[in-house]
């Protein structure tokens, strides 16, 4: 299925009317409230209205979820299942998600404001695709036995770790959880997921579908609650074997402390970014470079770890590029995220909208030139911010160094290749980067010199399940997806046998 069958707003509103939103945690194969009964309202960025109440898990609830996952792990009903059978469960899970694609897309759109067309086409395509990819990989993994030893045999085998904790953000609520879960699960672990407070609905429903697909209850638990209480209790838990996280650099650093204060669990981090998008005058298709630069800061309303938030453009083409990008951004259809025609939705929360607008105001005060957009919110329901473009930005300015995580583009010009590389690398982050040039040697030179986990040449955000996704420096380490994404969810064991 490549297009949703619901093609207008009323069809999606009708689906919402007929959908029961999850209101409890998914533990041991059933929906459960927090022991103390605490809960918090979930409001939709669509219009700020309350759509559900979700439990606030305290330490005892986190303990229940981890204990349940540990018990199931030790029983071996998942961890010792032949890998092919685990893979078959994942494949059935992917099929079920395909069948429930509209419903899950609706939950994503409602919880964090993503335009429904993007939720359906992009978020769900990736979610289903990654699960399938790991499902198909399950029985194709091999262990090692090095040759050349007389009188003995060495086996290097991979084993599951136990209970994996995953803590994820709201900007791609499904994709970023699914970058982790199938890899951890196919390796034989059990998982406790804490999604962001803003976006628990899709994760809960998807975990429920995993049980329908044949995954034993307790293998995948989803707990809800705040980061500083629920997330911290999970990260500090002594029975978590490894912690995988996607979110802000600030919280990522805190998690390293939690690991040190508890059982020294490994912590895998996918963090923030301030990705440079470098345009040379010889870009093979300048119109495409310009269209993509606008996309790279406006897709998901700029709430992308890999957003091309630093447009590093050669001075000879700067005016042409800025004019084109501004024109694209002004033409975006802003609107109700549940309207399939909407291209640009609200930000995920009022607090985040206010933070972004504060950064725009600081940018204006810094002396940068505001070419389009405003430090005031547009007058419409939902937490919108008009796309913003600043020129006359120096790479040392806050606008170029601080991750804003909204539709705010800083244009920085350069004169030659060396300067472009210096600007690109002068950042605490090292996640995405792009180079637009027809010069093959230059493309190779820069892709080696740029200190980032991802380099795109004449494209942006290209990706596939078979290649890893991840960053360096304060953008984290230990990429997700592909066979490399699996490694962090296994422990290797060396066994020597004397013959
Ligand atoms: P965040 O504030 O760091 O939150 C991420 C997750 O951590 C949420 O589930 C949050 O729970 C939880 N959390 C917060 N404080 C915690 C604590 N003290 N202990 C344990 N867990 C805690 O990030 P966000 O605002 O959701 O997402 C935006 C950030 O994620 C940006 O910096 C973005 O660049 C980054 N990101 C990175 C990637 C990547 O792949 N590199 C991808 C997407 C996003 P609550 O929601 O309850 O606070």
Residue among 168, 204, 248, 258 whose CB has most ligand 1 atoms within 8 A, to mutate = 248
- 459 labelled catalytic: no
DSSP tag of 334: B
Closest to 311 measured CA to CA, from 412, 404, 400 = 412
Positions in the chain short of pLDDT 70: 1-2
- Give the per-residue pLDDT at 149: 81
- 88 labelled catalytic: no
Q: Could you tell me if 16 and 139 lie in one domain?
A: yes
Dihedral of alpha carbons 122, 123, 128, 129, sign: positive
Q: Which atom of ligand 1 is nearest to the CA of 480?
A: 40
- Give the per-residue pLDDT at 3: 72
Spell 55-79 as b/e; 16+ CB within 10 A means b. Answer: bbbbeebbbbbbbbbbebbeeeebb
Report the SS3 class of residue 216: coil
Report the Cα–Cα distance between both ends of the chain, in Å, rounded: 56
Closest to 277 measured CA to CA, from 319, 312, 324, 315 = 312
The verdict on residue 329 lying in a domain is yes
- Give the per-residue pLDDT at 334: 96
**Which residue of the set 111, 208, 305, 359 is catalytic?**
305
Q: Could you tell me if 427 and 332 lie in one domain?
A: yes
Residue among 251, 257, 430 whose CB has most ligand 1 atoms within 8 A, to mutate = 251
Q: Could you tell me if 481 and 454 lie in one domain?
A: no
List % helix, strand, coil for the chain (3-state, nearest 5): 40, 20, 40
- Give the per-residue pLDDT at 357: 98
Which residues form the domain of 442? 276-464
Which residue owns the Cα nearest ligand 1 atom 40? 270
* CA–centroid distance, residue 392 to ligand 1 (Å): 31
Residue 315 backbone phi and psi in degrees, to 5: -60, -25
Residue 225 backbone phi and psi in degrees, to 5: 145, 180
Q: Which atom of ligand 1 is nearest to the CA of 198?
A: 46
**Residue pLDDT, tens place only, 115-162:** 999 999 999 999 999 999 999 999 999 999 998 788 999 999 999 999
Q: Could you tell me if 117 and 170 lie in one domain?
A: yes
* CA–centroid distance, residue 22 to ligand 1 (Å): 22
Q: Could you tell me if 218 and 304 lie in one domain?
A: no
Q: Could you tell me if 335 and 358 lie in one domain?
A: yes
Q: Could you tell me if 281 and 244 lie in one domain?
A: no
- The helix (run of H) or strand (run of E) holding residue 267 is strand 267-270
Residue 221 backbone phi and psi in degrees, to 5: -105, 140
Q: Which atom of ligand 1 is nearest to the CA of 169?
A: 26
Token pair belonging to 239: 């029975």
pTM of the model: 0.98
- Give the per-residue pLDDT at 1: 58
Dihedral of alpha carbons 74, 79, 85, 87, sign: positive
Alpha-carbon distance of 153 to 164, in angstroms, equals 31
Closest to 371 measured CA to CA, from 420, 318, 440, 421 = 318
Report the SS3 class of residue 389: strand
List 388's β-bridge partners, or say none. 408
The verdict on residue 321 lying in a domain is yes
Q: Evaluate whether 489 touches 164 at the Cβ level (below 8 Å).
A: yes
- Give the per-residue pLDDT at 324: 98
- Give the per-residue pLDDT at 5: 81
User: For position 216, which CATH number holds?
Assistant: 3.40.605.10
Q: Could you tell me if 124 and 187 lie in one domain?
A: yes
**Residue pLDDT, tens place only, 430-460:** 999 999 999 999 999 999 999 999 999 999 9
Which residue owns the Cα nearest ligand 1 atom 20? 231
**Which residue of the set 270, 403, 417, 461 is catalytic?**
270
Q: Could you tell me if 260 and 290 lie in one domain?
A: no
Q: Name every protein residue with a CB atom under 6 angstroms from any ligand 1 atom.
A: 167-171, 176, 194, 196-198, 226-228, 231-232, 235, 246-248, 251, 254, 270-273, 305, 403, 405, 431, 471, 475-476
Residue among 173, 247, 296 whose CB has most ligand 1 atoms within 8 A, to mutate = 247
* CA–centroid distance, residue 320 to ligand 1 (Å): 36
Question: In this structure, are strands 490-498 and 152-160 parallel, antiparallel, or unpaired?
Answer: antiparallel
The verdict on residue 246 lying in a domain is yes
């Amino acid at each position: 299925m490549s297009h949703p069958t619901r093609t207008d707003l009323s069809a999606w509103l009708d689906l919402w009317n007929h959908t029961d939103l999850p209101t409890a945690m998914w533990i041991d194969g059933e929906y459960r409230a927090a022991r103390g009964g605490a809960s918090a309202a979930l409001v939709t960025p669509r219009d700020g209205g309350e759509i559900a109440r979700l439990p606030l898990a305290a330490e005892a609830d986190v303990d229940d979820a981890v204990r349940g996952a540990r018990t199931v792990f030790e029983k071996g009903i998942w961890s010792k299942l032949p890998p092919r059978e685990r893979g078959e469960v994942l494949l059935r899970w992917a099929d079920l998600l395909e069948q429930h694609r509209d419903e899950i897309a609706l939950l994503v759109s409602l919880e964090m404001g993503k335009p429904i067309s993007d939720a359906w086409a992009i978020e769900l395509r990736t979610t289903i695709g990654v699960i399938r990819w790991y499902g198909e990989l399950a029985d194709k993994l091999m262990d090692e036995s090095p040759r050349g030893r007389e009188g003995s045999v060495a086996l290097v085998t991979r084993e599951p770790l136990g209970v994996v904790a995953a803590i994820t953000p709201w900007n791609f609520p499904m994709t970023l959880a699914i970058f982790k879960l199938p890899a951890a699960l196919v390796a034989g672990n059990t998982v406790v997921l804490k999604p962001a407070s803003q976006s628990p609905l899709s994760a809960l429903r998807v975990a429920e579908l995993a049980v329908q697909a044949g995954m034993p209850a307790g293998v995948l638990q989803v707990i809800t609650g705040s980061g500083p209480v629920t997330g911290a209790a999970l990260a500090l838990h002594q029975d978590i074997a490894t912690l995988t996280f996607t979110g802000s650099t600030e919280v990522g650093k805190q998690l390293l402390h939690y690991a040190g204060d508890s059982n020294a669990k490994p912590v895998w981090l996918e963090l923030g970014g301030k990705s440079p998008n470098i345009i040379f005058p010889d870009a093979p298709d300048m119109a495409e470079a310009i269209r993509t630069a606008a996309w790279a800061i406006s897709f998901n309303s700029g709430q992308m770890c890999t957003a091309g938030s630093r447009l590093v453009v050669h001075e000879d083409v700067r005016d042409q590029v800025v004019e084109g990008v501004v024109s694209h951004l002004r033409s975006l259809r802003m609107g109700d995220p549940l309207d399939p025609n909407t291209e640009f939705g609200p930000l995920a929360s009022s607090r985040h909208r206010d933070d972004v607008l504060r950064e725009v105001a600081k940018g204006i005060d810094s002396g940068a030139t505001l070419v389009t957009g405003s430090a005031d919110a547009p007058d419409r329901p939902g937490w919108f911010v008009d796309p913003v473009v600043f020129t006359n930005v120096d790479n040392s300015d806050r606008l170029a160094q601080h991750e804003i995580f909204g539709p705010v583009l800083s244009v920085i010009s350069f004169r030659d290749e060396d300067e472009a590389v210096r600007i690109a690398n002068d950042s605490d982050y090292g996640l995405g980067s792009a180079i637009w040039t027809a010069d093959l040697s230059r493309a190779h030179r820069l892709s080696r010199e740029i200190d980032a986990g991802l380099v795109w040449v004449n494209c942006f955000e290209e990706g596939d399940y078979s290649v890893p996704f991840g960053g360096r420096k304060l953008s984290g380490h230990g990429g997700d997806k592909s066979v490399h994404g699996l490694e962090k969810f296994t422990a290797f064991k060396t066994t020597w046998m004397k013959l």
